Amino acid sequence: MFDNEDKPALNPLPKFRYEIISTARAKVNIDYHIEYDHKYYSVPYQYIGQYVDVKARLLTIEIWFNNERICTHQRSYKNLYTTEVQHMPDKHKAYNNINQQTFKKWASSISPDLLEFMNGMFNGVNVEQVKYRGCLGIQKLSRTNLDVLLESVRYCNKNKIYSFKAVNEVFKKIISKPKTTDETPIKNDNLRGGKYYSEEVNYEQ
């Protein structure tokens, strides 16, 4: 009966395996990446702040904006971040010939305190290029007054504040502090300490 009645009515099997597509909505972060399934994928930086649609297949991730596909990635099951160089802003592309080790090597040649600060800056950073401008700023401060820079990073290290904004603010406060010629301290507020720096607000990057 099967050969005579059922088999002739059957359709041929599809040429391609059926593939499940999962969809999601995501916002492009300031580091030009979106999150999907606890992994991060880059998109062209022009879409920072926009909401995009994600179409996830077994092997690929497609990212769409206003019904237009703007990029495709191989789906990652191991690496936390997947980043395409062409998605970076020009200022990040310009850093392709350097990396965090460049700055750490420079810091280690000057002071263990400065190296500790550099390590703190890069610790947990997903896209290290976002820290390069701050590193260049620290190098500039070192050319202005290395002793004050080292005092600033020691304060930041002690308080576990690892950002250029923090060290720059402390640096400026030390530079602007009137110096006393009296070797015997009379008033405590002439001494630097935790209270002296308590005015800083939001030292994140």
**In this predicted structure, what is the pLDDT of residue 25?**
97
pLDDT 10s digits, 122-157:
998 777 877 887 898 999 999 999 999 999 999 999
Q: Distance between CA 85 and CA 129 in Å, rounded?
A: 11
* pLDDT tier at 4, thresholds 50, 70, 90: low
Q: What phi and psi values does residue 159 have, to the nearest 5 degrees?
A: -100, 5
The reported pTM is 0.49
Arithmetic mean of pLDDT, 182-202 = 49
**In this predicted structure, what is the pLDDT of residue 3?**
64
Residues contacting 44, CB < 8 A, separation 6+:
32, 70, 71, 86, 87
CB atoms near residue 185 (< 10 Å):
10
Q: How much is the mean pLDDT over the chain?
A: 83
Largest Cα–Cα separation, the chain: 111
* pLDDT tier at 178, thresholds 50, 70, 90: confident
